[in-house]
Structure 1
């Protein structure tokens, strides 16, 4: 004798919900959302073709010193930048530098910390004297995306607890609320990912960055989407499917309970 359709439906709803939660928790807990690097060949071309820019590789970690000279009528102004690969997740921006290399970057002047990672929620200060206009826009989008994912994680925890209560107590209202919570998780997941993709657009095509970045090296900058972004999108899809399944479970329980009362 096979399992009843209701049992199969409840198991599927639970599996979809657990799988969605697992995917989103994994994607939110890693720093593999974006990777920022610089093309060595393009940097060499910029160095050879632009007499006002001097680019020197000062280590084996693609760590470059960029000296940019701007001529004026009265004098020449020289400014030094350090460019290097970084990577980010939903919560923070980190680099690959050694401690010695990190001390050279003068991160306090750029608004970043002297630590390996810059935590957006904790370390960012909405102060135009510290951050450029572009960096402030990037940080605001990042913090908005992180806020959406906090809501997503809270919804998933609440959905798991309320869903178990609904199944064990055969509560129709609890199952309906579980469906709503998964729907909200999917919705806020889309909001968060949309903000992150908007940020990625500005970083990739407008050369926005949290650190000070000379415009002369923008053609060499590469912004890459990492594996956690597709994983987060799959998690959003499974949240939407789990929402539908939980609403179907609630409807089925309502029909069964109505029949038993007759």
Structure 2
């Protein structure tokens, strides 16, 4: 009889406590939220810059600007009438931008074809963090917004890296305070990521509200090559957000949920009498 009663007790002791599944779920969601935020920040598809062909043609005709379409009307070239060899000129190209980069949306083969008609061989991406002599005539509004988004994104990355170290220490060493701090740090990471997303979203708001006006967005986004002091075709540009922004919003939601899970994990480790089984 003693052997028969001991068997169910042994089976019960061998079972996995639900706290183990909670810890695993927390770690899994933490990895997903961290990966999504890092991927969103590091990718360069936060916004796309394209040219409205009809509006661009109308503006070119109105301002007597010689315009030539290339690559199946994907790229427009403003002819340099002073250069009879046909080289040089200003190119109006589609672009995709990140938090600190702006890249030309052309394949290598397309850029090679354009190089025959004077497309510059400079790097196709501009890095706003790099120390270079590149001086883009960005408007004060966009310049300030760009710097704010870069600062918030860098702070978010720093907080995510620190939270990973503190969280690993708290779980491995069973430090409840470290686990609680990890939850707060993920909340801060989500907050700074949300600031970055909002800044990127509203960075062009001044340009949208003044479409067609010379007081609008005066940045050089979408323009490659020598740019006239007052290019009358800039109002034909169209700015749109892309999948990196959506990925970032998903990361913010997961980071907020992750923060709550870490805070609840600290409560479980403090008040659960068998919380030591988590380790």
Match of 1:29 among 39, 42, 48: 42
Distance 1:153 1:188 in 2: 9
* Largest Rg, 1 or 2: 2
Describe the shift of the 1:84–1:203 C-alpha distance in structure 2 as closer, same or farther (beyond 3 A). Answer: farther
Instruction: Map 1:128-147 onto structure 2 (within 5 A).
Output: 130-132=135-137, 134=139, 136-147=140-151
* CA RMSD across the alignment: 3.2
Distance 1:204 1:88 in 2: 18
The size of the alignment, in residue pairs, is 239
Q: 1:132-173 deviations in whole A, cap 9, x for unaligned?
A: 351x43233223212211211221122222212212222101
* TM superposition score normalised by structure 1: 0.77
In the alignment, structure 1 segments of 5+ residues that lack a partner are 69-79, 107-112
Contact 1:138 1:210 in 2 (8 A): no
1:245 aligns to 2:266 (yes or no): no
In the alignment, structure 2 segments of 5+ residues that lack a partner are 1-11, 81-88, 210-215, 222-226
Aligned to 2:78: 66
Aligned to 2:66: 54
Q: 1:213-261 deviations in whole A, cap 9, x for unaligned?
A: 855324421112111101001101111111111111111111136999x
1:84 aligns to 2:93 (yes or no): yes
Whichever structure has more helix as a proportion of its residues is 1
Describe the shift of the 1:149–1:118 C-alpha distance in structure 2 as closer, same or farther (beyond 3 A). Answer: same
1:230 aligns to 2:257 (yes or no): no
Q: 1:153-205 deviations in whole A, cap 9, x for unaligned?
A: 22112222221221222210110110111011011101111221121324545
Contact 1:47 1:53 in 2 (8 A): yes
